[in-house]
Amino acid sequence: MKPTLRPSGWLRPASMASVLAIGGLALALLVHAPLATTAHAATAAPQGAQTTAPATTAAGAPDTRPEIVRRGEYLARAGDCIACHTAPRGRLFAGGLAMETPFGTLYSPNITPDPQYGIGTWSEEAFFKMMRTGRKPDGALIYPAMPIAQYTKVTREDSNAIFAFLKTVEPVRQPNRPHTLRFPFNQRDLLYGWRTLYFREGEFQPDPTKSVEWNRGAYLVEGLGHCTMCHTRINMLGGSSPREQFAGGLIPVQNWYAPSLTSDKDGGLGDWSIEDIVDLLRTGVSKRGAVYGPMAEVTYHSLQYLSDEDVRAMAVYLKSLPDQGGRKTGPSVTPDPSVFALGKRIYAEKCAICHGDNGEGQLPHYPPLARNQSIEMDSNVNPIRIVLNGGFPPGTKQNPQPFGMPPFGQELNDTEAAAVVTFIRTAWGNHGLPVTAHEVNELRKAPLH
């Protein structure tokens, strides 16, 4: 088989079903949660440092000087607004992206400056209040499918710049599609319960004991980047515990596993250099592996546009997340010899051409499989899915013509796919556990996007 090559820009404008599922799960809780009648009164939030000239005119119109708009565009990239607020083949920021949850479907709203259908009549203040407090101008609570728990950390100055940029995009006369959430999840007031448990309003507070670079990285990762929305396990109540921040988690509905971003034994960035992380985030490929699935969309829409300094700052922050002991060590598990032999044969026939006879890969296009944490992880979802579905890293400015991996879902039956995944998880000193044909079969049903 010949390595395949695809032009850049193939990636669909994100399906963020994942994140929506999280919002959806959040709703699950609401049925049980006590309704906090006095929940957060929209307290006047501390204002971000105003380093620019007065941000508003007397009439409250936003400051739309070109440099502010450019900054706003950049920050909107960092926040990946486009991923959710633009539907496939839809107009820019006109919303309408369907986000499936176990409780029904949410549709992202139109955030173009159209006065009737978009946010054309919103003031800069109202926009900031939405970002900080998760409330619409009429006071209605916003579903956490919009990353309000993270965006609350955004400074006033950055919020104003994003608003100024949104004011300059083309207004689109397209009405919002109403959400089709089932009762009682369609009751916004139930969000009071979720907020009491999981929403902590307030701007990012820099840690004075850390470097400026670390703080910049923390601000981007915890705030606009909303990385925790996927990389933190969601509990039964649809929230996540601060202790488990960035420790990895399965993305509901979408069924991809977002690995730990700490220096954990399971997945984790403990062995990665800052350079590897920067490469992966910005270009989509690195010495350690390539991005795929939902992470490919994050790189495609957002991270590839960020400056080297900002991505580096994010990497510096991620590398500082507590080290739980690096990588897995000790002997590998010995799977059933007949399964291993079958997997080994399939690997030699179908995979070695790209990933190398000994899983060494061919950098930077074909990731190594030997000593690759994303293959050894306790969760076997990603290696199974990529073998079934194949994948392409995103086309990025620095890697415009990514090399892809063909899907093997048709070619290999459940037993064969399980054998080859078992092989790559246990060969070459990898510390993964075997996978079963049943597990493969279950993942054949996972949505492709």
If one counts every other C-beta atom within 10 angstroms of the C-beta of residue 334, the result is 9
Residue 169 touches ligand HEC, criterion: CB under 6 A: no
The Cα–Cα gap between 439 and 418 comes to 8
Find the part of the chain contacting ligand HEC (CB under 6 A) among 50-58, 210-218, 373-381, 440-448: 373-381
Residue among 21, 69, 164, 386 that touches ligand HEC (CB under 6 A): 386
Residue among 258, 316, 419, 443 that touches ligand HEC (CB under 6 A): 258
Residue 375 touches ligand HEC, criterion: CB under 6 A: yes
Residue burial 37-59, b: 16+ Cβ < 10 Å; e: rest: eebbeeeebeebeeeeeebeeee
If one counts every other C-beta atom within 10 angstroms of the C-beta of residue 179, the result is 20
> Which residue pairs from 329-337 have beta carbons closer than 8 angstroms and sit at least 24 positions apart in sequence?
329/431, 330/431, 332/426, 332/427, 332/429, 332/430, 332/431, 333/426, 333/431, 333/432, 333/433, 333/434, 334/426, 335/422, 335/423, 335/426, 335/434, 336/434
Find the part of the chain contacting ligand HEC (CB under 6 A) among 27-35, 75-83, 192-200, 203-211: 75-83
Residue 221 touches ligand HEC, criterion: CB under 6 A: yes
The Cα–Cα gap between 55 and 254 comes to 40
Which is nearer to ligand HEC, 208 or 323 (by Cβ)? 323
Residue 443 touches ligand HEC, criterion: CB under 6 A: no
Find the part of the chain contacting ligand HEC (CB under 6 A) among 167-175, 321-329, 360-368, 426-434: 360-368
Residue 265 touches ligand HEC, criterion: CB under 6 A: no
Residue 387 touches ligand HEC, criterion: CB under 6 A: yes
Which is nearer to ligand HEC, 237 or 269 (by Cβ)? 269
Residue 339 touches ligand HEC, criterion: CB under 6 A: no
State the minimum distance, in angstroms, from the CB of residue 204 to ligand HEC: 14
Residue 290 touches ligand HEC, criterion: CB under 6 A: yes
Which is nearer to ligand HEC, 152 or 373 (by Cβ)? 373
Residue 405 touches ligand HEC, criterion: CB under 6 A: yes
Q: Are 342 and 336 in contact (CB under 8 A)?
A: no
The Cα–Cα gap between 79 and 216 comes to 14
Which is nearer to ligand HEC, 26 or 81 (by Cβ)? 81
Residue among 132, 366, 376, 396 that touches ligand HEC (CB under 6 A): 366
The contact pattern for ligand HEC, residues 107-146, with x = CB under 6 A and - = no contact, is -xx-x-------x----------x-----x-----xx-xx
Tokens read off for 195:
């907020």
The Cα–Cα gap between 215 and 199 comes to 21
Find the part of the chain contacting ligand HEC (CB under 6 A) among 79-87, 236-244, 330-338, 433-441: 79-87
Subset of 229-248 contacting ligand HEC (CB under 6 A): 229-231
SS3 of 169-225: the string is: CCCCCCCCCCCEECCCCCCHHHHHHHHHHHCCCCCCCCCCCCCHHHHHHHHHHHHHC
Subset of 87-106 contacting ligand HEC (CB under 6 A): 99, 106
Subset of 7-66 contacting ligand HEC (CB under 6 A): 16, 18-19
Residue 424 touches ligand HEC, criterion: CB under 6 A: yes
Residue 256 touches ligand HEC, criterion: CB under 6 A: yes
Residue 224 makes CB contacts below 8 A (sequence gap 6+) with 75, 78, 79, 150, 151, 154, 158
Give burial (CB, 10 Å; 0-12/13-18/19+) of 338: exposed
